[in-house]
């Protein structure tokens, strides 16, 4: 094993390799201490050691001989203050020389690039939160060490190797005598920097381990000299199997940090044991801050799956994707241990667990919303856009999710409104739930399409997230009321009375606008599908809306930008019959040379109000130029 890297001829000489460019960049940032909190390196190395033990436990299900005469997983920390050395050793799965070349010289994870860009942008700021989420954990050792040595022997292998680097661009890999490596597993030796010597002192290390790693599922023993009697600093008990009454808030927070790779505290903890047809324990957390990969395209979840305390996988779909921000684990009693990860995905037990845990999480959110709305809103602010994905993905739980949803509206100011609130405040004769989508809340709330709604005191939901374009397009309703876009179809507002004091626009006499509308339709043919009198405008002259049968304009723009729409449909131009300019145009002679210019300028004005470019920028500039000349003539 590992012979593809270390050949017999070179067995006595270490092979030198260059780090991947990204690793070098990362190491440079680490060493120049982007992080104020260097303590985190220990958490990263301990978590790797614990992962290695869990991987072995899993492989040993199929191949029990891997455990040999050393079946109990353990991690040891050995301090040597005289030499300024800290050693972290585990009896886990171990690495071959080839494994080391693959994993300790590269950054495999996707998202790492984004992580580094963010680090570069935030340089100097303490962003220790980010390490560990992107598979850069191991390299954090170079924050405190001038040299790092990794001695490792893969379980079942009869050779061992050593990886060594000063973190300055290259590393070496060489075979070592079996006596110089652990019997099985990995020993990481840190030769500490002068200003990091305290990491070889008992008080420092003990404090850090207790604070950061007290709940890793493998016992940790601290040795002061390589041969002295060790002291247990973490017992490796499975916190999730203890009764809630025995667990403090701080225990939960520690565990959350180690299971989730987060550095904040949980916003909400869900811990219970399901009994009945299937038995399983659940310990999950809702983070206080947005995890970094929340909007990665793969939308991966992070619930770990255990079977009777044995870690199986963190890839099992325990929760739907729209709950991917939930961290933690599920430990099942019913899944067979010897089932492959792939088979587990399709198991009916997992399906039952998924159903149970999903229902529970949503139920807990609902309870929180009812009992502590402030705490709930903090969660909604972080994860609302993700939860809303469920509105179009999870038909079965759509009503529950609609109940959990909170919105900013035209009348709510900074407050969040539920749909129940909205429906309770419907205006007389109002039969739909109105909404406007768009990424810019400020522009949304001042868009011309909203004028008629405002004049009638009709509340309009402001939907700023991309996902809003999708769930609103699939015929969702709440409490029997359909959702209706303010930029689509006729507004039908005439039945709803104006608010007191609202500018009641003088309506033009029936038919007075007919000839202008016919004229505009002809001039703008090819740019609009129709021109018609508006019910939704009170002060602006014009606005654009989608036709009744068409797709909402925001959704259409989104799809067009993503290249998923060969041809956008033409919008409808609505004109305000109460607007002075429109009234004047209605009586302007078609022969007037300016009339066509003005029709085009009105269309471009409507486009600009929607945050778009004029359709023909050059023609727009020429028309505006002619108009301005007239103004100063």
End-to-end CA distance of the chain: 89
**Long-range Cβ pairs for the range 473-479 (8 Å, 24+):** 473/551, 473/552, 473/555, 474/392, 476/391, 476/392, 476/398, 476/402, 477/433, 478/399, 478/402, 478/419, 478/423, 478/433, 479/419, 479/420, 479/423
> At its nearest, how many Å lie between Mg ion and the CB of residue 44?
5
Work out whether 48 is an interface residue with Mg ion (CB under 5 A).
yes
Residue 186 or 262: the one with the smaller Cβ distance to ligand ADP is: 186
Question: Which residues, listed in sequence order, are joined to residue 305 by a DSSP beta bridge?
Answer: 313, 330
Q: Which stretch binds Mg ion (CB under 5 A): 47-55, 478-486, 523-531, 613-621?
A: 47-55
Number of residues that bind Mg ion (CB under 5 A): 2
Beta bridge partners of 306: 311, 331
Q: Least distance to ligand ADP from the beta carbon of 155, Å?
A: 10
- Residue 136 binds: one of ligand ADP, Mg ion, none (C-beta under 5 to 8 A by kind): ligand ADP
Query: Between residues 137 and 571, which has the closer beta carbon with respect to Mg ion?
Result: 137
Which 118-157 residues touch Mg ion, going by CB under 5 A? 137
533 binds, among ligand ADP, Mg ion, none (CB under 5 to 8 A by kind): none
Report, in Å, the least distance between residue 97 CB and Mg ion. 20
What letter would DSSP give residue 610? T
Nearer to ligand ADP, 136 or 216 (CB): 136
Decide whether 6 or 95 has the Cβ nearer to ligand ADP: 95
Q: Note whether 258 binds Mg ion by CB under 5 A.
A: no
Which candidate, 350, 336, 347, places its Cα nearest to that of 62?
336
Report the nearest approach of Mg ion to the CB of residue 137 (Å).
3
Half-sphere exposure of 336 (CA within 13 A, CB side): 9
CA distance 306 to 284: 13
Nearer to ligand ADP, 133 or 554 (CB): 133
Distance of closest approach, residue 88 Cβ to ligand ADP, in angstroms? 8
Instruction: Tell me the two tokens of residue 275.
Output: 């009994």
Q: Which does 151 bind (CB under 5 to 8 A by kind): ligand ADP, Mg ion, none?
A: none
**Residue 90 binds which entry of ligand ADP, Mg ion, none, with Cβ cut-offs from 5 to 8 Å by kind?**
ligand ADP
Question: Measured from the CB of residue 191, what is the shortest distance to ligand ADP in angstroms?
Answer: 17
- Given Mg ion, ligand ADP, none, residue 93, with its beta carbon under 5 to 8 Å by kind, binds ligand ADP
Residues of the shown chain interacting with ligand ADP in the complex, contacts defined by CB under 6 A: 44, 48-49, 51-52, 90, 92-93, 95, 103-104, 135-138, 186
Q: List binders of Mg ion among 197-226 (CB under 5 A).
A: none
Which option in Mg ion, ligand ADP, none does residue 487 bind, with CB closer than 5 to 8 A by kind? none
- For residue 112, the partner it binds in ligand ADP, Mg ion, none, with Cβ less than 5 to 8 A by kind, is none
C-beta of 292: minimal distance to ligand ADP in Å? 13
Report residue 624 as tokens.
């505006």
User: Judged by CB, which is closer to Mg ion: 48, or 152?
Assistant: 48
User: Which residues have CB under 8 Å from 115's CB, separation 6+?
Assistant: 130, 133, 134, 136, 292
- How do beta strands 75-80 and 220-223 pair? parallel
The Cα-based distances of 129 to 28, 146, 290, 470, 627 in angstroms read: 18, 23, 11, 32, 57
The contact mask relative to Mg ion for 4-43 (x = CB under 5 A, - = no) is: ----------------------------------------
CB of 257 to ligand ADP, least distance (A): 15
For the bound state, the minimum distance from the C-beta of residue 140 to ligand ADP, rounded and expressed in Å, comes to 8
Token code pair at residue 271: 């811990």
Nearer to ligand ADP, 148 or 598 (CB): 148
Beta carbon nearer to ligand ADP, 67 or 95: 95
Alpha-carbon gap, residue 75 to 339, rounded angstroms = 27
CB of 47 to Mg ion, least distance (A): 5
What is the number of other CB atoms lying within 10 angstroms of the CB of residue 621? 11
Residue 186 touches which of Mg ion, ligand ADP, none (Cβ within 5-8 Å per kind): ligand ADP
Closer CB to ligand ADP, 107 or 493, in the complex? 107
Comparing CB distances to Mg ion, the nearer of 137 and 550 is 137
Binding partner of 173, given ligand ADP, Mg ion, none, CB within 5-8 angstroms per partner class: none
Contact 385, 423 (CB under 8 A): no
- How far is the C-alpha of 242 from the C-alpha of 237, rounded, in Å? 9
- Based on the shown chain and the rule CB under 5 A, indicate whether residue 112 belongs to the binding site for Mg ion: no
Report the 10 Å Cβ neighbour count for 378. 15
- Give the dihedral of Cα atoms 500, 503, 506, 508; nearest 10 deg: -120
Distances (CA, A) of 458 to 214, 240, 428, 489, 565: 55, 49, 10, 17, 33
| Residue with smallest beta-carbon separation from ligand ADP | 137
Minimal distance in Å, beta carbon 186 to Mg ion? 12
Cα pseudo-dihedral 529, 530, 531, 537, rounded to 10? -90
Name 552's Cβ contacts closer than 8 Å, sequence gap at least 6. 437, 469, 472, 473, 485, 487, 488, 546
Show the tokens assigned to 370: 């009812």
Measuring CA to CA, which residue among 539, 538, 542, 535 is closest to residue 575? Answer: 542
Consecutive H or E run containing 485: strand 481-485
Task: Specify the residue, 259 or 491, whose C-beta has the smaller distance to ligand ADP.
Answer: 259
Using the minimum distance from each CB to Mg ion, give the nearer residue, 88 or 316.
88
**52: partner contacted, choices Mg ion, ligand ADP, none (Cβ within 5-8 A by kind):** ligand ADP
Instruction: Please give the Cα distance from 429 to 416 (Å, whole number).
Output: 24
Least distance CB 128 / Mg ion (angstroms): 14
Length in residues, the chain: 633
- In this complex, which beta carbon is closest to ligand ADP, that of residue 186 or of residue 534? 186
Q: How far is the CB of 570 from Mg ion (least distance, A)?
A: 54
Report the interface residues with Mg ion, using CB under 5 A: 48, 137
């Amino acid at each position: 094993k590992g012979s593809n890297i270390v050949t017999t001829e070179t067995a006595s000489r270490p092979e030198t390799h260059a780090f991947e460019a990204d690793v070098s960049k990362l190491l440079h940032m680490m060493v120049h201490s982007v992080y104020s909190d260097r303590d985190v390196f220990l958490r990263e190395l301990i978590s790797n050691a614990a992962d290695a033990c869990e991987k072995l436990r899993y492989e040993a299900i199929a191949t029990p001989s891997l455990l040999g005469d050393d079946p109990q997983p353990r991690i040891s920390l050995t301090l040597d203050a005289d030499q300024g050395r800290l050693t972290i050793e585990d009896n886990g799965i171990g690495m071959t020389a080839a494994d080391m070349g693959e994993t300790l010289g590269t950054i495999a994870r996707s998202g790492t690039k984004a992580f580094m860009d963010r680090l570069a942008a935030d340089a100097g700021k303490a962003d220790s939160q980010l390490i560990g989420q992107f598979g850069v954990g191991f390299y954090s050792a170079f924050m405190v060490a001038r040299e790092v040595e990794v001695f490792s022997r893969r379980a079942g292998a009869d050779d061992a190797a050593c990886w060594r680097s000063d973190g300055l661009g290259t590393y070496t890999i060489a075979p070592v005598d079996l006596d110089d490596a652990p019997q099985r597993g990995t020993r990481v030796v840190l030769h500490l920097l002068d200003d990091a010597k305290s990491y070889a002192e008992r008080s420092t290390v003990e404090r850090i381990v207790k604070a950061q790693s007290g709940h890793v599922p493998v016992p940790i023993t601290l040795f002061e000299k390589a041969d002295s009697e060790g002291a247990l600093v973490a017992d490796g008990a499975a916190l999730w199997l203890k009764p809630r009454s025995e667990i403090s808030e701080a225990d939960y927070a520690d565990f959350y940090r180690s299971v989730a790779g987060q550095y904040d505290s949980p916003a909400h903890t869900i811990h219970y044991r399901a009994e009945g047809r299937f038995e399983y324990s659940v310990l999950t957390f809702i983070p206080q801050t947005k995890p970094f990969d929340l909007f990665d395209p793969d939308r991966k979840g992070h619930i770990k799956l255990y079977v009777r305390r044995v870690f199986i996988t963190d890839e099992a779909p325990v929760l739907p994707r729209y709950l991917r921000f939930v961290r933690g684990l599920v430990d099942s009693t019913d899944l067979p241990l010897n089932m492959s990860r792939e088979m587990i995905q399709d198991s009916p037990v997992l399906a039952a667990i998924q159903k149970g845990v999903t229902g529970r999480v949503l139920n807990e959110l609902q309870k929180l919303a009812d009992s502590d709305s402030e705490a709930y809103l903090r969660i909604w602010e972080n994860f609302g856009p993700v939860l809303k994905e469920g509105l179009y993905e999870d038909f079965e739980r759509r009503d529950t999710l609609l109940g959990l949803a909170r919105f900013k509206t035209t009348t709510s100011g900074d407050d969040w409104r539920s749909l129940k609130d909205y429906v309770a405040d419907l205006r007389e004769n109002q039969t739909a739930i109105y909404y406007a989508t768009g990424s810019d809340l400020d522009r949304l709330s001042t868009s011309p399409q909203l004028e008629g709604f405002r004049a009638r005191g009709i509340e309009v939901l402001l939907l700023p997230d991309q996902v809003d374009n999708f769930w609103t397009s699939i015929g969702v309703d709440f409490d029997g009321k359909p959702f209706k876009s303010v930029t689509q179809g006729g507004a039908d507002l005439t039945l709803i009375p104006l608010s007191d004091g609202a500018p009641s626009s003088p309506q033009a006499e029936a038919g007075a606008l007919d000839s202008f509308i016919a004229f505009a339709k002809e001039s703008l043919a090819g740019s609009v599908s129709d021109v018609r009198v508006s019910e939704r405008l009170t002060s602006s002259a014009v606005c654009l809306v989608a036709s009744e049968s068409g797709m909402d304009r925001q959704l259409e723009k989104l799809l067009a930008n993503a290249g998923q729409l060969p041809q956008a449909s033409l919008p409808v131009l609505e004109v305000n019959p109460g607007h002075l300019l429109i009234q004047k145009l209605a009586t302007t002679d078609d022969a007037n040379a300016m009339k066509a210019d003005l029709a085009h300028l009105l269309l471009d004005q409507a486009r600009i109000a929607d945050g778009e470019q004029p359709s023909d920028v050059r023609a727009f500039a020429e028309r505006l130029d002619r108009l301005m000349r007239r103004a100063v003539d």
